[in-house]
DNA sequence: CGCGCTCTTGACTAGGGTCAAGTGCAGTGG
DNA sequence: CCACTGCACTTGACCCTAGTCAAGAGCGCG
């Protein structure tokens, strides 16, 4: 039995409080926890009969690669997030997923998913909500890349990660641990690593945020949110009144 | 009763063939068909208790607006597509949807959706597949905007639309009707309308494609696909062997 | 010790944004 | 019939953001 302080429970708890039966089913849906080393691929683009996982510890990212070798990171996964859930029904996975740190995951038992539809529909609805929320983040990511400049994108990206880390109890409103290299962040926000470096310097010199030694520190989160037009709505963190 | 040549049936037919019971359920899930004039909003960002629709005729687009007024179009919907399905479970819609032409839609009866889970699970799975496929397109869209230059984005965008139009029987491999203005396409691919115009001229002068008078014509689709690294895989059109 | 990786900075370049002007309709109203 | 308006599209000139190329610093590792 896993403690209820587990990231996945914290995350789903932002939507609704799960009853003991639903919590038990969520456990039943998962296979044994396994460890994957940093750099290993969990899912690769084009893979057939791919699986979905729940990430319990560590960071992963979903990305697509172009023929010329360029890589666009679509999404960063942190503890409590699903991996590959979105494309479970597609015949070939449309993206790859790689472990960015050593991670701990559990495979989702998709056969029991249909059983869970009958027995604990509210749990399934919560899972669908979580999937929708992840989609909303991809959409916001698209807007970011399509319409904002490098600085706004970068700040927005780090603000969003911070809000997510705070939600699962791994960060505060001013700081969180972030094991991403600059080139990873650059591939996520769609600029070159070199330019990202210049942007980070600018943010630092403007006393807005620090990103050093694997730690992000917000020096003025309000001004950052203002600057980047950041809006927490799409993250849908707030329980219904 | 609606003919099986309806766009939604054609679209879902790319995944599986629906039985008569499932087809009937799909009809039951929909409310009466209604007409909406071009320019009207079907869903607006922040809206609560928003609905989902099936688009039967005409074009719509989903977009987000920034504070400075800039607009990023996330997705174009053509007949057979769902509108607002993705964010149905979110408390506030994360995006707006507007009719680009006069359209015909039917509202999805979400109450019956849960009933359908029990009675026709295969239909629900097909709907979830369609939603996943739409997600895959948003993801590909993100990659496009993040990593490709203006010409590749534009060509890719028009190729994708062409493939979708062909799927629902509204286009051939060389041409389709496209009621989008240049500024709409520009907002979708994340460049200015002025620059899009230059790109279209370039594509025309290179004998690659024409976009005039509401019609897209591919002059050399293979070279276009080559040029833009276009890959049909993510559209998942092919029935399992 | 050399190798590889991440990070950093500078100099130069180019893709695409901005500003401005003009064309060619379709619709409206005199 | 013709002015007037508004919108979509077109083109040119200029500029700025971000990419490219190049070089070097710091650090962990075999």
* Residue A240 confidence class, pLDDT cut points 50, 70, 90: very low
Q: Looking at residue A50, what DSSP letter applies?
A: -
| Per-residue pLDDT, A238 | 53
Helices (DSSP H) in chain A: which residue ranges? 7-13, 20-28, 110-119, 121-147, 150-167, 182-189, 193-205, 221-228
Q: What is the side-by-side strand order in the sheet with A103-108?
A: A30-36, A103-108, A53-57, A82-83
Footprint of strand D on the protein (CB under 7 A): A 149-151, 190-192, 194-195; B 181-183, 193-194, 197-198, 200-201, 212
All residues at 6 or more sequence positions from B109 whose CB lies less than 8 Å from its CB, including other chains? B28, B29, B30, B31
User: What is the distance between the alpha carbons of residues B201 and B161, in angstroms, rounded to a whole number?
Assistant: 19
Contact (CB, 8 A) for A122 and A130? no
Backbone φ, ψ for residue A229 (5° rounding): 60, 35
Flag whether pLDDT at A191 surpasses 50.
Answer: yes
Contact (CB, 8 A) for A189 and A144? yes
Q: Each residue of A13-62: pLDDT tens digit?
A: 888 889 999 999 999 999 999 999 999 999 998 888 879 999 999 999 99
Q: Looking at residue A67, what DSSP letter applies?
A: T
B129 — contact with chain A (CB < 8 Å)? yes
Q: Each residue of A48-66: pLDDT tens digit?
A: 887 999 999 999 999 999 9
Closest CB to B72 among A66, A89, A143: A143
Q: Each residue of B187-233: pLDDT tens digit?
A: 999 999 999 999 999 999 999 999 999 999 999 999 999 888 888 77
**CA-based nearest residue to A71, from B57, B148, B198:** B148
Residue B154 CB neighbour total at 10 angstroms: 26
User: What is the distance between the alpha carbons of residues A191 and A185, in angstroms, rounded to a whole number?
Assistant: 9
Q: Which residue has the higher pLDDT, A4 or A127?
A: A127
Closest CB to A233 among B66, B92, B143: B92
Token code pair at residue A140 = 């916001």
User: What is the distance between the alpha carbons of residues B86 and B91, in angstroms, rounded to a whole number?
Assistant: 12
Give, as ranges, the nucleotides of chain D with any atom within 7 Å of a protein CB.
8-12, 17-22
Q: Looking at residue B171, what DSSP letter applies?
A: B
Percent of chain A with pLDDT over 90: 76
User: What is the distance between the alpha carbons of residues B2 and A227, in angstroms, rounded to a whole number?
Assistant: 51
Q: Do B89 and A238 touch (CB under 8 A)?
A: no
Q: Report strand pairing: A96-99 vs A175-177.
A: unpaired
CA B208, C1' C28: Å apart? 40
B residues 40-99 lying closer than 8 A (beta carbon) to A: 46, 64, 66-68, 70-72, 74, 86-92, 94-95
Give, as ranges, the nucleotides of chain C with any atom within 7 Å of a protein CB.
5-10, 15-20
Which residues in chain B land under pLDDT 70? 1-5, 236-241
**Residues written for chain A:** 241
**CA-based nearest residue to B165, from B154, B155, B156, B176:** B176
Flag whether pLDDT at A75 surpasses 60.
Answer: yes
| Per-residue pLDDT, A185 | 97
CA B90, C1' D6: Å apart? 39
User: What is the distance between the alpha carbons of residues A167 and A17, in angstroms, rounded to a whole number?
Assistant: 15
- Dmax of chain B from CA atoms? 56
Give the position of tokens 């600059």: A182
All residues at 6 or more sequence positions from A218 whose CB lies less than 8 Å from its CB, including other chains? A159, A162, A173, A174, A175, A208, A209, A224
Tell me the three state secondary structure of residue B37.
Answer: coil
Give the position of tokens 């115009």: B197
Shortest distance between the Cα of B143 and any Cα of chain A, in A, equals: 6
Q: What is the side-by-side strand order in the sheet with A71-77?
A: A41-43, A96-99, A60-65, A71-77
**CA-based nearest residue to B54, from B116, B18, B95, B12:** B12
User: What is the distance between the alpha carbons of residues B18 and B27, in angstroms, rounded to a whole number?
Assistant: 12
User: What is the distance between the alpha carbons of residues A109 and A54, in angstroms, rounded to a whole number?
Assistant: 11
| Per-residue pLDDT, B241 | 31
| Per-residue pLDDT, B49 | 81
Token code pair at residue B195 = 């620059």
- Does the reported pTM lie above 0.75? yes
A residues 181-200 lying closer than 8 A (beta carbon) to B: 189-190
| Per-residue pLDDT, B25 | 95
* Residue A237 confidence class, pLDDT cut points 50, 70, 90: low
């Amino acid at each position: 039995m896993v403690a209820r302080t587990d990231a996945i429970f914290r995350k789903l708890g932002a939507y609704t409080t799960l009853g003991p039966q639903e919590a038990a089913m969520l456990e039943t849906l998962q296979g044994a926890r396994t460890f994957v080393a940093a750099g290993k691929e969990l899912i690769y683009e084009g893979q057939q009969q791919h699986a979905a996982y729940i990430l319990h510890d560590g960071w992963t990212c979903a990305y697509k690669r172009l023929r010329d070798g360029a890589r666009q990171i679509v999404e960063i996964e942190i503890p409590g997030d699903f991996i590959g859930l979105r494309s479970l029904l597609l015949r070939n996975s449309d993206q790859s997923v790689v472990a960015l740190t050593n991670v701990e995951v559990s495979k989702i038992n998709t056969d029991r998913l249909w059983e869970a539809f009958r027995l604990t529909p509210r749990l399934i609805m919560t899972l669908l909500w979580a999937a929708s929320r992840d989609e909303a983040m991809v959409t916001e990511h698209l807007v970011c890349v399509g319409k904002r400049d490098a600085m706004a994108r970068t700040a927005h990206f780090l603000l969003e990660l911070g809000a997510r880390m705070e939600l699962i109890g791994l960060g505060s409103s001013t700081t969180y641990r972030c094991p991403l290299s600059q080139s990873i962040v650059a591939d996520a926000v769609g600029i070159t690593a070199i330019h990202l470096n210049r942007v980070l310097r600018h943010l630092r010199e403007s006393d807005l945020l620090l990103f050093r030694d694997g730690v992000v520190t917000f020096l003025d989160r309000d001004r950052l949110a203002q600057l980047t037009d950041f809006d927490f709505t799409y993250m849908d963190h707030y329980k219904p009144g």
